[in-house]
């Protein structure tokens, strides 16, 4: 379980609570909270990707980038939250089942870059393992789609 602790808490004055939280298996994340000292992470979060190339780099790029993205998905799952990845694109991709149709422009320069078929398979695997949800829209639809996803879960 995770809790967010306001980063403006006075240092050194909450060690007892920190130790008790650790004993209870609670992990503390530190961030500025708009109000209060402690909060649960949000139940729904939307992470936007500017295009198909960005999500391809997150999933099929350098090992460190893949690990960072995977850790983010795991943390959301472990917090009891739902992470939705909204991929803005002008490639006509509207759902994960269409990703295999995408042609990665990186393949021209890097023949071992991730293909659309491999990216689709990886997205489906990440959904199964970590509960991350992939959604797609055009850049013009993005703000409206974010609000829909946050309101409807």
pLDDT for res 152: 85
Check whether 69 has a pLDDT greater than 90. yes
pLDDT tens, residue by residue, 79-114 = 889 999 999 999 999 999 999 999 999 999 999 999
Tokens of 26: 């609670």
| 47-61, 66-80, 93-107, range with the lowest pLDDT | 66-80
- Total residues belonging to the chain: 153
pTM of the model: 0.85
Q: Return d(Cα 31, Cα 67) in angstroms, integer.
A: 22
Report CA torsion sign: 54, 48, 72, 132. Answer: negative
For residue 82, the surrounding DSSP H or E stretch is strand 82-88
Residues of the chain by 3-state class (helix, strand, coil), percent to 5: 50, 20, 35
Check whether 148 has a pLDDT greater than 90. yes
CA-closest candidate to residue 141, choices 108, 93, 76, 98? 93
Banded model confidence at residue 153, pLDDT cuts 50, 70, 90: low
Banded model confidence at residue 23, pLDDT cuts 50, 70, 90: very high
Banded model confidence at residue 146, pLDDT cuts 50, 70, 90: very high
Q: Return d(Cα 54, Cα 72) in angstroms, integer.
A: 15
pLDDT for res 96: 98
Q: Return d(Cα 126, Cα 70) in angstroms, integer.
A: 8
Contact by Cβ (8 Å): 78, 128: no
């Amino acid at each position: 379980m995770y809790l967010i602790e306001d980063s403006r808490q006075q240092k050194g004055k909450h060690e007892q609570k920190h130790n008790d939280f650790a004993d209870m298996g609670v992990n503390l994340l530190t961030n500025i909270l708009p109000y209060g000292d402690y909060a649960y992470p949000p139940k729904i979060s939307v992470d936007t990707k500017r295009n198909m190339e960005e999500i391809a780099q997150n999933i099929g790029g350098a090992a460190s980038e893949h690990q960072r993205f995977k850790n983010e998905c795991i943390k959301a799952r472990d917090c009891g939250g739902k992470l939705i990845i909204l991929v803005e694109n002008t490639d006509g991709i509207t759902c994960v089942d269409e990703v295999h149709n995408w042609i990665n422009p990186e393949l021209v320069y890097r023949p071992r870059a991730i293909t659309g078929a491999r990216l689709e398979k990886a997205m489906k695997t990440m959904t199964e393992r970590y509960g991350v949800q992939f959604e797609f829209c055009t850049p013009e639809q993005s703000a409206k789609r974010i609000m829909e996803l946050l309101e409807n879960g």
